[in-house]
Structure 1
């Protein structure tokens, strides 16, 4: 039986030089709730999510993605993952142990082949959360995370082999080859995706809204606050989800989305979608056409690699 330890995406952790500006953006403009913090550290939850937090902000002289975190089915799965990674020669940041972040739990951290830090944890306490009301334009949950890689094929194979992700769809160009791999760990179309980029970095973090009305209201709120819209509003073909891409104050791309496709996994066959077809990028035709300049908006700055964050 295939080893599939991962249940869902938990959180994305970012480090930035201007901590207070970043903190204000995620807590006010973006609509998350600050639930914990320390000197130079802030944790943000989504009101509709049982996760203790979906974004962590840390003050550092260097901008970076500290880590991406996934949930595991059990502590035993975390232990088995550690054994499997060890046999494969994967470099661990730390062995399975009790976590001292909000909600506790039991987890492991390691470097993926690109050098980014990955955390996998189980038994994290569930946060009290609530139903997001009609026209309440704040994120329900963290939807998915996409990363840039110079070797997307190798990274795709790593997450499939070692973490049990499944390939859902591929974006490709007849001139440039495969450009993005969508990976799932549940019936949701994707929780993680890998884009071909000029360097290793965060491509974007996406936040699910209650519905299209709330998605559009959130897009409008961000625009009125002066947040830079880099692409959208529109609706992708792969995943069938809406998109509005913005830059946070440090140039990380964050997305409002909704209505991500839920698959019948037993019946699903991975598709291939040509990015040169405008419908692939935006079924509605409301966003600017995909171009080299639009694509560059999600390249981000080169990340800090094979160096674990201090917390």
Structure 2
């Protein structure tokens, strides 16, 4: 039985904190809601989550945390007991959270050493409907991670957290390369990409609609940010994509219209991405090539099996 309800936030440690903060607020369109010394919690205007990205100043670049929600504290306790009994290493036992919005949660290391948090009863942030033409993120859509052992990582999230497989991308020469996982009716809240090392592949932000997505893509381009890939429309998930590099070299995506599926009748597809229409149904994006792939690998994550200090 699945007890996780949704994706909450992704927390990043970065050496160039001031540059990153400027990018996420002035260029990307997030709002700094809570700030401490070398620590900022960034909210999306349309999201009830207290924050969708947390930036922390650190010597080493890493994913600090990927956070998911559960419906009740009892569900948090059940998940903690379940994964501890399976031999998964807990970082913290269930308890009161000290982050904005409070709540009740716990943290653990996944199979490759990323820190994951599951929480319930976090206070809802005052948010608003994004207006027509507003090209800022509505919510955090999904997070994609690179894995040196993607089959093991897929098994971990499927077995311990009941993530469901929506679709898989494969290549005739390279085999299966990406797995899209869901925790609710959205086609994916997380995906796992085969990579040379564990790292962040990208984080994706949902915009209000096609017009706002294109306006946002154009605004970031005009700001001189390096575009990696897009604009286009994927087949898996049927969502649009424009990928950019943040100042630390993390890939960030603007998207919209991610598919919502009927979980009772859905059957996963195996898509061959050597077919150009799988990567981009529109044919408007630059070709998926070695350059795009290499940028997506990112730097090796330096925080594996080391819990973040906050």
Partner of residue 23 from structure 2, selected from 22, 25, 37: 25
Partner of residue 282 from structure 1, selected from 255, 259, 280: 280
Show the counterpart of 2:308. Answer: 309
Show the counterpart of 1:78. Answer: 76
Show the counterpart of 2:268. Answer: 270
C-alpha distance in 2, partners of 1:115/1:188?
26
Partner of residue 190 from structure 2, selected from 185, 192, 195: 192
1:73 CA drift (Å)? 1.6
Partner of residue 49 from structure 1, selected from 47, 50, 53: 47
1:238 CA drift (Å)? 0.2
Paired positions, count: 309
- Matched residue of 1:154: which SS? helix
Deviation string, structure 1 residues 95-115 (Cα, Å, up to 9, x no partner): 001001000000010000011
Show the counterpart of 1:125. Answer: 123
1:236 CA drift (Å)? 0.2
Q: TM-score, structure 2 length as denominator?
A: 0.99
C-alpha distance in 1, partners of 2:263/2:16?
43
Show the counterpart of 1:224. Answer: 222
C-alpha distance in 2, partners of 1:17/1:260?
32
Deviation string, structure 1 residues 217-238 (Cα, Å, up to 9, x no partner): 0011111111110000000000
C-alpha distance in 2, partners of 1:243/1:297?
15
Show the counterpart of 2:294. Answer: 296
C-alpha distance in 2, partners of 1:257/1:264?
21
Show the counterpart of 1:4. Answer: 2
- Residues 30-179 of structure 1 aligned to structure 2 (within 5 Å): 30-179=28-177
**Any runs of at least 4 consecutive aligned residues in structure 1 with deviations exceeding 4 A, and if so which?**
none
Any gaps of 5 or more consecutive residues in structure 2?
none
Q: TM-score, structure 1 length as denominator?
A: 0.99
- Matched residue of 1:186: which SS? coil
